[in-house]
Amino acid sequence: MRVTQSMLTNNMLRNLSNSYNSLGKYMEQLSTGKKINRPSDDPVIAMKGMNYRTQVNQLEQYERNIGEVHNWMDNTDSALEKVQKGLERLRELAVQGANGTYEEGQRGNMASEVRQLKEHILEIANTKVNNKYIFSGTATTGNGGDKPYVLDGEDTSAANPDFFQFYGNQDAVNIEVSTGSKIQVNTKGNEVFTEDLFKDLTDFANTLDDDNASDEEIAQFIEKIDGHIDNNVNARADLGARQNRIDLIENRVLEQQVTATDMMSKNENADLEEVILNLTSQEAVHRAALSAGARVIQPTLLDFLR
């Protein structure tokens, strides 16, 4: 086969073009810090990158979910702590009220404090976090604008069946915190804020107001309040166990996130030292190609006719 001048020229230009493409690739890697900038650069790396990125995004969502779980649980624990203090004060009042040395006016003052503590506990039962009721099950927005817990008057007898109204439910609010793992974030209302609780507190105040009430009638509320204290302690213990579990899950998710991010980085990010070395080598090759090309394009007759 006869090699012509045009063949040499075309081969030289094609090789120079390939050399420019290589220079462009290394320059792009150096400026972006990525091994590839389009799927066609390396389909395998691109496919792995999509999988790693999906995993990282999923773990980031779990981390946000865990933050919401902490928000629910921390506010719930704070609310139950205030209930605990209120019930302990109510027990003190029951012990004091059963003491026969207290006069009529003093018991009346106790009754006023009991009613205030009852209203305080009712407000806690209707606690909202991020505009959601945390003690009303899955009915977190209430019922037609009504609060989950509503009391009507001071009459706890059967003549007033609407004394206690609950507009929520006893369902668990679950949030997914890892793949296939959901955790209950709420404390159900029937564990603490029962109808019996508000009836007992109302009856306690009414008994203190009753001039004919005996010390024994007042003393019976000590045991009832103790029962409500036990309910609150049990609810806090269950909540604490779930808080410990979410702490363990959070640590695991954070470790998985670090690992997934590291794998994604190794898959996508370019080794800058290697890229610089390749770029330097390609520049030397390119200069050599330009020098060789200058020799390929030989002088013609036209160069001597100028």
Q: What is the pLDDT of residue 250?
A: 93
User: Does residue 101 share a domain with residue 21?
Assistant: no
What CATH code is carried by the domain that includes residue 231?
Answer: 1.20.1330.10
Domain membership of residue 21 (yes or no) is: yes
Q: Across residues 215-233, what is the average pLDDT?
A: 94
In tens, the pLDDT along 128-158 reads 998 899 999 998 887 666 789 999 988 888 8
pTM comes to 0.77
In tens, the pLDDT along 280-305 reads 877 777 677 777 666 666 666 555 56
Task: Name the residue among 174, 167, 175, 182 with its Cα closest to residue 136.
Answer: 167
User: Does residue 120 share a domain with residue 201?
Assistant: yes
Look at residue 251 and tell me whether its pLDDT is greater than 60: yes
Q: What is the pLDDT of residue 142?
A: 72
User: Does residue 304 share a domain with residue 156?
Assistant: no
Q: What is the pLDDT of residue 99?
A: 79
Query: β-strands 128-129, 174-178: how paired?
Result: unpaired
User: Does residue 165 share a domain with residue 287?
Assistant: no
In tens, the pLDDT along 20-46 reads 677 667 677 677 677 677 777 778 777
AA identity, residue 104: E
Look at residue 267 and tell me whether its pLDDT is greater than 80: no
Confidence of residue 278 (pLDDT cuts 50, 70, 90): confident
List the domain range (segments joined by +) for residue 186.
Answer: 81-239
Domain membership of residue 182 (yes or no) is: yes
User: Does residue 305 share a domain with residue 214?
Assistant: no
Q: What is the pLDDT of residue 133?
A: 93
User: Does residue 190 share a domain with residue 141?
Assistant: yes
d(C-alpha 29, C-alpha 35), whole Å: 6
Mean pLDDT of the chain: 85
User: Does residue 212 share a domain with residue 110?
Assistant: yes
Please tell me whether residue 175 adopts helix, strand or coil conformation: strand
User: Does residue 231 share a domain with residue 111?
Assistant: yes
Domain membership of residue 34 (yes or no) is: no
What's the burial of 14, exposed, middle or buried (CB within 10 Å: 0-12/13-18/19+)?
exposed
d(C-alpha 5, C-alpha 198), whole Å: 104
> Which pair of tokens denotes residue 155?
């009459």
In tens, the pLDDT along 163-182 reads 999 988 999 999 999 888 99
Domain membership of residue 100 (yes or no) is: yes
Q: What is the pLDDT of residue 255?
A: 92
User: Does residue 298 share a domain with residue 163?
Assistant: no
User: Does residue 112 share a domain with residue 14?
Assistant: no
- Of how many residues is the chain composed? 306
Look at residue 247 and tell me whether its pLDDT is greater than 80: yes
Query: β-strands 174-178, 132-133: how paired?
Result: unpaired
Least confident of 62-66, 67-71, 209-213: 209-213
d(C-alpha 297, C-alpha 12), whole Å: 9
Answer whether 220's CB lies under 8 Å from 61's CB: no
